[in-house]
Amino acid sequence: MRSLIACLSLLAAPSMAAAQDIVEVDVELVLAVDISYSVDLEEARRQREGYVAALAHPDVISAIQAGPHGRIAVTYVEWADAGFQRPAAPWTLISSEADAMAFAAVVAAAPLERGHYTAIGSAIADGVERIETNNFQGIRRLIDISGDGPQNHGMDLAEARAIASAAGITVNGLPIITERPGHWTRPAEINLDEYFDRNVLTGPGAFVLAVREPEDIQMAILRKMTLEIAGAAPSRSELSGMAP
C-alpha cells in the first residue's frame, strides 16, 4: 500500500510542480505590432518608440501597481506575413519601474525586421497561442494589435477572432490611418477604424483607438496601454480618433 502511495506521489509531482510554476498576474498582454511594408520606416520607428516610451511612463507603472496583484505579464511581437510573428521581447513579469525600464530596453534594442503582407488573423492566432502556452495566469488576457491597413494575407479573420473568443481573450485595435503611401502598398481606401471594429475586435470591453496623425502615435499608445492595464474604457471622444 505504501509503495502504491509513493508511486502515485511521484506521478503527481510533475503536475504539482507545473502548477507551482504558474504566476498569477492582473493582465497577460501581447503587444502585436504591424511591421509589414505598408508601414514605412518612419512609422515603424514611431510605433516602437511609442511603445518603449509608454512602457516606462508613470501612468502605465501606476496602472500596473494599482491592480490586485500589482503585476502584469507582457510580450512584444512584431508581425507581417502569415509566417512572420517575431517576439522582439519575450514574456516578462513587470511589477516595478525597474522591470518596465528593462523590458523597454529589450524592445528598443531589437533589430527592426520587415515583412511584405498584412496577416492580421495570423497575428491574432499567434497571440492566442502565446497566451495559452506561457507560465502566467491573468485575470484578464489581451492582444493589443496595431496596423495601418486591412488584411491581405494569412488566416481568415473570422476564424482567428473565433479562436480568441473561445479562449476568453480580448482583442483591441490601434489602427494607424495615414494618407501616405507605404513602401509596399498604397493606403487602403476604407474606413480603417470601422474595419477594425467590425473585423478585428472581440471579447469583453474590446475597443479601437484610431491614430490619424503620425505625431499622435505615442500619445495613443500610452493611452491605450494605460486603459488596457487598468481595465478601463476610453471616452467617447477618444473612440472617434486621437486627432480632432
What is the pLDDT, as a whole number, of residue 240?
A: 53
122's grid cell? 495570423
Q: How far is the CA of 57 from the CAs of 24, 52, 100, in angstroms?
A: 23, 9, 9
29's grid cell? 498582454
Q: Which residues pair with 176 in a beta bridge?
A: 211
pLDDT in tens, 86-115: 999 999 999 999 999 999 999 999 998 888
Q: CA-CA-CA-CA torsion for 232, 35, 210, 201, nearest 10 degrees? A: -60
pTM over 0.95: no
What is the DSSP-derived secondary structure letter of residue 186? P
Q: Which residues pair with 23 in a beta bridge?
A: 136
What is the pLDDT, as a whole number, of residue 122?
A: 97
Nearest-angstrom CA–CA distance, 67 and 113 = 34
What is the pLDDT, as a whole number, of residue 20?
A: 55
What is the pLDDT, as a whole number, of residue 94?
A: 97
SS (H, E, C) 184-229: CCCCCCCCHHHHHHHHCCECCCCCECCECCHHHHHHHHHHHHHHHH
Q: Which residues contact 180 (CB under 8 A, 6 or more apart)?
A: 40, 187
Amino acid letter, 172: N
What is the pLDDT, as a whole number, of residue 199?
A: 96
pLDDT tens for the chain, residues 1 to 244: 444 444 444 444 444 434 558 999 999 999 999 988 777 777 778 888 999 999 889 999 999 999 999 999 999 999 999 999 999 999 999 999 999 999 999 999 999 888 889 999 999 999 999 999 999 999 999 999 999 889 999 999 999 999 999 999 999 999 988 665 544 344 445 789 999 999 999 999 999 999 888 778 899 999 999 999 999 988 776 665 443 3
